[in-house]
Amino acid sequence: MTDRPILYSGQMVRAQLDDRKSQTRRILKPRSKNRPSLFDGGWSDSYVLDPGNESWRQDDMPIKIGDRLWVRESWWIATMYSYGTTPGGCEIDPPPLAHRKRDPVHYDADGNPPNVGNRTYGPEGLRGGSFAAPDPYAIWLKRPSIHMPRWASRLTQIVTDVRVERLQDISEADAVAEGLAGQNLDGMDPRGWYRDLWESINGAGSWDANPWVAAYTFTVERRNIDAPANVSKGRDE
């Protein structure tokens, strides 16, 4: 079992919070250093999927059954303008990325952080897309998902199944499991919905490229990966 981070858009984070998402697909790229990769484009599809090549496929599989994935999502952190002073009296600036675990966190998928009036900005808070944070903090800073540290993650996935397939081989049932479940399906083509989702994330033409993907099935636990099971996430001081 290996612990790994995994990036998600706000839309897909909300799908997990709503219990609508139990699968994800990620492009497979050659990783093997000791022999040719089955995913380097030099092999027929039937050869890639041959049961006799299972161990070879595993060489390039970054995630395996039983792995735990901690979700990285866009987030906000409350910060001060100074984190204290040095012995000489100089103010210490907030660290750009190495935030303290005790600093308040807000998740972008939940909407904007609360705009709370404080002693820095007054009772009205801020305008123009900036948000004042509760005292003793001054302001909320938005951070991209790639910069979310492990301690701030609130969702943990347990991988229960891994399949290799071409992107366009996704079934309607699997498209629903990608996050469509629970939505109004009247007149909606699940595979068409997933095609649009894929291209919104990976760019125009990415669906037509039909790459090899790993289809991961998982369960979602609403806790930090380091928190005890069935216990809400808490962050150390």
DSSP H helix total and E strand total for the chain = 5, 8
* Residue 36: pLDDT band with limits 50, 70, 90: confident
Cis geometry, peptide bond prior to residue 228 (ω within 30 degrees of 0): no
What pLDDT was estimated at residue 80? 80
Q: Give domain limits for the chain.
A: 3-71+152-221, 75-143
* Domain 3-71+152-221 superfamily per CATH: Hypothetical protein. (2.30.130.30)
Residue ranges with strand state E in 31-175: 68-72, 75-79, 105-107, 139-143, 156-166
User: Would you tell me how many other CB atoms lie within 10 Å of the CB of residue 75?
Assistant: 24
Residue 80: partners with Cβ closer than 8 Å, 6 or more residues away: 94, 136, 137, 138
pLDDT at 33 over 80: no
Residue 102: partners with Cβ closer than 8 Å, 6 or more residues away: 235, 236, 237
* Mean pLDDT across the chain: 89
User: pLDDT for 214-224, tens place per residue?
Assistant: 999 999 999 99
What pLDDT was estimated at residue 96? 61
pLDDT higher for 22 or 229? 22
What pLDDT was estimated at residue 79? 87
Buried b (16+ CB within 10 A) or exposed e, 3-16: eeebebbeebbbbb
For residue 53, count CB atoms less than 10 angstroms from its CB and return exposed for 0-12, middle for 13-18, buried for 19 or more.
middle
What pLDDT was estimated at residue 227? 93
* Residue 188: pLDDT band with limits 50, 70, 90: confident
Closest among 9, 52, 4, 42 to 216, alpha carbons compared:
4
Q: What average pLDDT does this structure show over 200-211? A: 96
Q: What average pLDDT does this structure show over 72-96? A: 74
* Residue 86: pLDDT band with limits 50, 70, 90: low
Can you say how many angstroms the Cα of residue 194 is from the centroid of all Cα atoms in its chain? Answer: 17
Structural tokens at position 26 = 């990620």
User: pLDDT for 90-123, tens place per residue?
Assistant: 666 666 655 778 899 999 999 999 999 898 888 8
Dist. CA 34–CA 38, nearest whole Å: 12
The model's pTM: 0.86
Q: What are phi and psi of 190, to 5 degrees?
A: -55, -40
Q: What average pLDDT does this structure show over 34-39? A: 84
What pLDDT was estimated at residue 237? 39
pLDDT at 236 over 50: no
